[in-house]
Structures are given as structure tokens and as C-alpha cells.
Amino acid sequence: MKSLAEILKFAVSKKASDVHLGEGIIPTMRVDGDLAPISETPFTRSQLIGMLMEYLSEDKFKTFEKEKELDYSFGIAGVGRFRANLSFQKGAVAVAIRALPFEPMTFEQIGFPIRIAEALVSRPSGMVLVTGVTGSGKTTTLAAMIDHINANNACHIVSVEDPIEFVFKNKKAIINQREVGTDTLSFHAGLKHVLRQDPDVILIGEMRDLETIEIALTAAETGHLVFATLHTPDTVQSINRMIDVFPAHQQQQVRIQLSFVLQAVICQQLLPKVGGGLALASEIMIANSAVRTLIRDSKAHQIYSSIQMGQKEGMRTMNMSLAELTKTGKISKETALERTSDFAELERLLAMK
């Protein structure tokens, strides 16, 4: 395989989620969470750069040489759409490529509760956070939500992403997708003027800093529905991260602001399924009056109990999700126990009929 298209076509045929290429490194792909070789022949620098430049502009490559890092996305006809990260390691060029579907998936396809998802995307305003570690399916879940709004609501959706991963086609909605580095200088810069662009729905690819979080809260507070991601493993840490990024003298005001605008926090993991593929496990917190009070009163650590008691409202803990996936045979018990943060609680849930 001498072209990037050939490598990625092979990886997609094996249902790989990621491909790793580098100078002097055996080409490797990740299938169901595990790494496997694509071939036994490493690439030289000139071979690797030659392949990458088929889908990378000269300007972006110059940016990479200058900044030593580059996130970008590209599509290959008949193969798929991909997100890539270029970097240097020990002076050598390396690239990690993530496979993306050409079209957003449905809630049913990703394994997310349809009733909860439809309720969240129908909210007129507020903030919905989708969180989890890298590779937990956050972008795919958000794409399903945005596509549902696109198909059902005549509204204006503006996204700021780094890079653009799913390319949406206008249905009932008008969607303007802005890429950091190409269409705007940064998340903060792109969001600074977003409220003057007459949006109804705003998608923020990642909330990385105080300024971005501040604008997101303001947008949600002023009647817009805001979707955003954080790299946090659970609901409590997600809420604390948003508050702790602010100076101490502002934190109480931020708690009050967040308690009014937050609609939900969805924390995700992707786990290897029995028989192959990946299964979505998700903790879902819906901001009811009890949760809002806990946020205002600086008692976020008690929110887990509210999630446990909120099943009738569609809430569930990560352990509840892991237990359900195990009992339905989608994942093994060993996998569930590897991914839980509370073994005793999960064992109790698994023992219940």
C-alpha cells in the first residue's frame, strides 16, 4: 500500500477507528480498542509527507512546520471522511488519523436513548455538555443531535470546530460551520461575534479556556441552545471544571449562572462489544430543580445521588449504563469492571434482577 487512500480504505474495511503513521514506524490501526499492524514496512519522511500532501494544502503544511502541531480534516471519495493530527516525535513526523462517517448517525445507531435525546434537542435555550476522554464518541453524539435539529427545525445553527469533522447539508435548518485556523483564529475569536450572526443553536467543538466558557454561558443565558464538549470523565468533574477555571471572586456568580442555563451533562465511554464493534456507555444528568440548587450551593459532589434518584426523568449513572450493557450481552462483565470507578456499586447493580 503506497498511497494514503489505499491505507485508509484497508483500515475502513477492517472497521478501524484510528490509523497511526510515522517515520520509521510500522503503520498501525486501532480496531475495537486494540492496535494491529497494517503492514510490516515503515515509511521514510519523504514517503510519508508525499502521501499526506495529497490531502493537505501547502499553507496548512507550512503552519504545521511552524507550529509543530496541526489538526485538520479531509475526505476521500468512496472511502470516508477523516480527522487528522500531525505532530513531531523525536524530530520525526507522525500522524494520527480518525475515521469519521460521511453522514451523521442516528440516536438509535449510536445507542443513545432516543426519548432523552429528542427532549434535549427540543429545548429552546440552555447548555448541553457532552464529555468524556478522547475517543469516547463525543463528536458523534453531538453530530446526531445537530442533524436531528437540522432535519426537524427551521433555524440557524452556527458551529465553531477544530477541525470540522462532520460536514452537514442544510435540511430545514441553515448551518454555518466555522473551522478554527481557516475561518476564524480561535474558539474565542469565533464565538466573540457569534451572537451577532443571528444563531438559534451554537455548537462549540471544545471549551478549552475561560473566555470560551464565559461566552458559552452568556450565549445560553441569552436565549440560545448551546452544545459543547469537555474532556472530563463524569458529571461532577465537568461542572467543577467549568466553575474552577474562573477566578475565585467570580465563581459564585458562575455557579448561579450555570445553575440557570445547564440543561444536561452527558458523560461517555466507548467499550469493545462482544462479537466486535463498540458500545456506548453514557452517564446522563438532567438539570432538575434539585441539581440546580446543588450547583448554586456549591454542593456539586452531591449531584451523583440526584442522578441515582432521577431515573424517572431519564437520568442514569455510568454504572447503571455499564450494568445494562452487561446484562443485555453487549459487553462482557470483565470490560464493565475495567471501566467502572466504583466496583462495589457495579457488582450490586449486576446482582440485581
HEC string of 52-87? HHHHCCHHHHHHHHHHCEEEEEEEECCCEEEEEEEE
Q: Verify that 173 and 25 share a domain, yes or no.
A: no
**Per-residue pLDDT, 341:** 93
Q: Verify that 137 and 241 share a domain, yes or no.
A: yes
Identify each DSSP E strand in the chain by its residue range.
Answer: 18-22, 25-31, 34-37, 69-76, 80-89, 92-100, 126-131, 156-161, 174-179, 201-204, 225-230, 262-272, 278-286
Give the whole-angstrom CA distance, residue 260 versus residue 100. 34
CATH number of the domain bearing residue 62: 3.30.450.90
Closest CA to 157 of 135, 178, 132, 139: 178
Q: Verify that 225 and 132 share a domain, yes or no.
A: yes
Q: Verify that 16 and 36 share a domain, yes or no.
A: yes
Q: Verify that 227 and 257 share a domain, yes or no.
A: yes
Q: Verify that 169 and 258 share a domain, yes or no.
A: yes
Q: Verify that 123 and 173 share a domain, yes or no.
A: yes
Under-50 pLDDT residues of the chain: none
Q: Does residue 322 sit within a domain?
A: no
Q: Does residue 112 sit within a domain?
A: yes
Q: Does residue 198 sit within a domain?
A: yes
**Per-residue pLDDT, 103:** 85
Residue 347's SS3 state is: helix
Q: Does residue 291 sit within a domain?
A: yes
Give the whole-angstrom CA distance, residue 331 versus residue 181. 40
5 Cβ neighbours under 8 A, 6+ residues apart: 54, 76, 79
For 38, the grid coordinates are 497494517
**Per-residue pLDDT, 271:** 95
Q: Verify that 198 and 272 share a domain, yes or no.
A: yes
Q: Verify that 96 and 111 share a domain, yes or no.
A: no
Q: Verify that 133 and 198 share a domain, yes or no.
A: yes
Q: Does residue 228 sit within a domain?
A: yes
Residue 94's SS3 state is: strand
The conformation of residue 344, written as its DSSP 8-state character, comes to H
The pTM (predicted TM-score) of the whole model is: 0.87
**Per-residue pLDDT, 181:** 85
**Per-residue pLDDT, 98:** 93
| Residue-number span of the structural domain to which 57 is assigned | 4-100
The conformation of residue 104, written as its DSSP 8-state character, comes to P
**Per-residue pLDDT, 165:** 87
**Per-residue pLDDT, 353:** 75
CATH number of the domain bearing residue 237: 3.40.50.300
The tally of domains found in the chain comes to 2
The last residue of one of the domains, among 50, 73, 100, is 100
